[in-house]
Amino acid sequence: MDHNKTHITEYKVLAKILLLLIFCTFLTISITSFNLAAFTVTIALLIAGVKGFLVLSYFMHLKYESLLLRILVGSIFLLFIIIVLITFIDYSFR
């Protein structure tokens, strides 16, 4: 792994990501005015997931890191999703 390699993200890119994050926040608020029943939480979590992905990729520079690091972080999110799904095997069938 090259320890000295660094990547500087342009302010223009960071500004675009910031705008996207603000848009996602408004989207999260606006969907509460629709009656989506059980899908309300699912959609809110999906939007939050997109926001998390953007923060990790651009603000935390994961997009420019080595493949190993991206795989490690990706595995953590995969594990999180699996744990949530398994928990719902109980809640959905109880």
Partner 1 sequence: MMSNGTDKIEYVSYLEHQGKYSGLRSWIFATDHKRIALLYLYAIATFFFVGAILGLLMRFELIAPGETIMKPQTYNGIFTVHGVIMIFMVVIPGLSAVFGNFFLPILIGAKDVAFPKLNLFSWWIFIFGSILAVASQFLKSGPPDTGWTFYAPYSTTTGTSVIMATTAAFVLGFSSILTGLNFIVTVHRMRAPGMKFFNMPLFPWSIYATAWIQLLATPIVGITLLMLIAERLFGIGFFDPKLGGDPLLFQHLFWIYSHPAVYIMILPAMGVITEIIPTFCQKKVYGYKAIALSSLAIAGVGFLVWGHHMYTSGMSENARWFFSLLTFIVAVPSAIKVFNWISTMYKGSIDLKPPFLFALSFIFLFIIGGTTGLILGSVATNIQVHDTSFIVAHFHYIIFGGMGFAFFAAIHYWLPKMYGKMYNFKRANIAWGSLFIGFNLLYFPQFIIGIQGMPRRYFDYPPQFQWAQIISTIGGVILISGIILMVYNLIMGVRKGEIAPANPWNGSTLEWQIPSPPSLENFDEAPVVKENPYDYI
Region binding partner 1 by CB under 8 A among candidate stretches 24-32, 41-49, 50-58, 83-91: 83-91
Cα gap 72→18, rounded to integer Å: 25
Q: Does 26 bind partner 1 (CB under 8 A)?
A: no
Site for partner 1 in 41-80 (CB under 8 A): 76, 79
The token duo for 51 is: 């926001």
Q: Do residues 31 and 44 make contact, with C-beta atoms less than 8 angstroms apart?
A: yes
DSSP 4: S
Q: CA 9, 14, 17, 18: dihedral to nearest 10 degrees?
A: 160
Q: Does 4 bind partner 1 (CB under 8 A)?
A: no
Residue nearer to partner 1 on the CB measure, 15 or 81 = 81
Cα gap 35→49, rounded to integer Å: 21
Q: Does 90 bind partner 1 (CB under 8 A)?
A: yes
Residue nearer to partner 1 on the CB measure, 22 or 83 = 83
Binding site for partner 1 (CB under 8 A): 1, 3, 76, 79, 82-83, 86-87, 89-94
